[in-house]
Structure 1
Amino acid sequence: MIATRTCRLHASCVDLAGNGVLITGRSGSGKSALALQLMAYGAALVSDDQVIVTLDDQGLEATAPDALHGMIEARGIGLLRASVCSRSRLVAVIDLEQLETDRLPPQLETMILNHPIRLLRRVDSPQFASALIQLLKCGAVNPDA
């Protein structure tokens, strides 16, 4: 049994089909913009700007701080209301500060609360958001398996 631990991260998070992705990066790196793109394809907002991550027996779970529940910032427009998912099991972290240049990159991991989770880097391509939606819907093939 794992002792429940919690942290608060500067990130955004969306969920689709019970799978969540945590979007990280410095201020202005496009976290909210990517979350909005994923929401346009059917994902639900978990949290924007600040995410509470909890480690329990099932893995990492993301929730929103009460003050931010149901809102997302759209730069140049303002705060928008959003369809929400109140909690989400995280399946991946996207680091917008690192650029992925490999066509078929190796599977990477990062640690949150000393727990491993898949790490994806930013891809400068028009299909990035739609590829992430497909990942959330159906998962990925592990070429090393």
Structure 2
Amino acid sequence: MPPSAPLILHATAVAVAGRGLLIRGASGSGKSGLALEMMARGAQLVSDDRVIVSDRDDGLWLSAPAPLRGLIEARGLGLLGATPCDPAPLVAVLDLDTLETERLPHRRETMLQGRRIPLLHNTAHPYFPAALVQYLRGERKE
């Protein structure tokens, strides 16, 4: 089956060690704020506000629309410059609108462009951005 046409999603994406995380949620849910927290811990900005999801033979890839490349919104400060990273392969989707209730949650998946992608839910812990950076460095262990 040929790859699907690229999608442009209202989302934010970051990468750690070349592994991309797509952060989705309602407007004002904290996508950019979480990305900034993760960037302070070593993540790189892929794209803020709009993310291109491209279907390639080797999986889904995240990139920024040209006008948004290297820009992130910080509420109360405006648009900030960030060193943009190259497109990154998508390894997980984070849904900020769904609160994680399990201490050790079962693996979840979501479908995107006809592919199964690990799905993470939001937690209300202050270490969440650091935990996401670590997840992207080495994935979750059983």
Class of the TM-score when normalised by the shorter of the 2 chains: over 0.9
8 Å CA contact 1:41–1:130 kept in 2: the answer is yes
* Whole-angstrom distance in 1 between the partners of 2:71 and 2:10: 15
* Whole-angstrom distance in 1 between the partners of 2:2 and 2:17: 25
Q: Deviations over 1:69-100 (max 9, x none)?
A: 00000001110000111201111000000000
Q: Deviations over 1:14-34 (max 9, x none)?
A: 011010100000100000000
Percent sequence identity is 51
* Whole-angstrom distance in 1 between the partners of 2:88 and 2:2: 18
8 Å CA contact 2:91–2:118 kept in 1: the answer is yes
Question: The residue matched to 1:32 in structure 2 has which SS?
Answer: helix
- Give the equivalent residue in structure 2 for 1:35: 35
Structure 1 length normalisation: TM-score?
0.95
Q: What one-letter code is carried by the residue in structure 1 that aligns with 2:89?
A: R
User: Structure 2: 5+ residue runs without aligned partners?
Assistant: none
Question: The residue matched to 2:140 in structure 1 has which SS?
Answer: coil
Matches within 5 A, 1:70-85: 70-85=70-85
Structural RMSD (CA) = 1.0
Instruction: Indicate whether 1:8 and 2:8 are aligned.
Output: yes
Q: How many residues align?
A: 142
* Whole-angstrom distance in 2 between the partners of 1:83 and 1:9: 21
* Whole-angstrom distance in 2 between the partners of 1:3 and 1:92: 19
* Whole-angstrom distance in 2 between the partners of 1:68 and 1:80: 11
Instruction: Indicate whether 1:136 and 2:140 are aligned.
Output: no
Question: The residue matched to 1:34 in structure 2 has which SS?
Answer: helix
* Whole-angstrom distance in 2 between the partners of 1:108 and 1:43: 23
